[in-house]
Amino acid sequence: FPVTIRGQVLKLQQMDTRIHVVKKGETLSKISKKYSMPIDVLYQDNIDVIGSDKNTIIPGQKLVIRDWI
């Protein structure tokens, strides 16, 4: 979708996103492998949901999964 900044028109590519609901026994590592994305990207995208300890995720949490390049 186009965005205008100071007279310039930029075309930004919209990234596809989906929601993953954490299930019992899952880890960020397993989830990142499932979606073929680096664990650090998954964590940073969801730090507001996960909190400061990326080793602790809770069943029912909704994580944003985005296409990344």
Alpha-carbon gap, residue 15 to 2, rounded angstroms: 14
Q: What is the pLDDT of residue 61?
A: 97
Q: What is the pLDDT of residue 66?
A: 87
Question: Would you call 17 helix, strand, or coil by DSSP?
Answer: strand
Amino acid (one-letter) located at 24:
K
Kindly list the distances between the CA atom of residue 55 and the CA atoms of 9, 20, 27, in Å, as whole numbers in the listed order: 42, 17, 7
Q: Within a 13 Å sphere around the CA of 52, how many CA atoms are in the beta-carbon half?
A: 0
The string of pLDDT tens digits covering residues 3-40 is 556 666 655 555 678 999 999 999 999 999 999 999 99
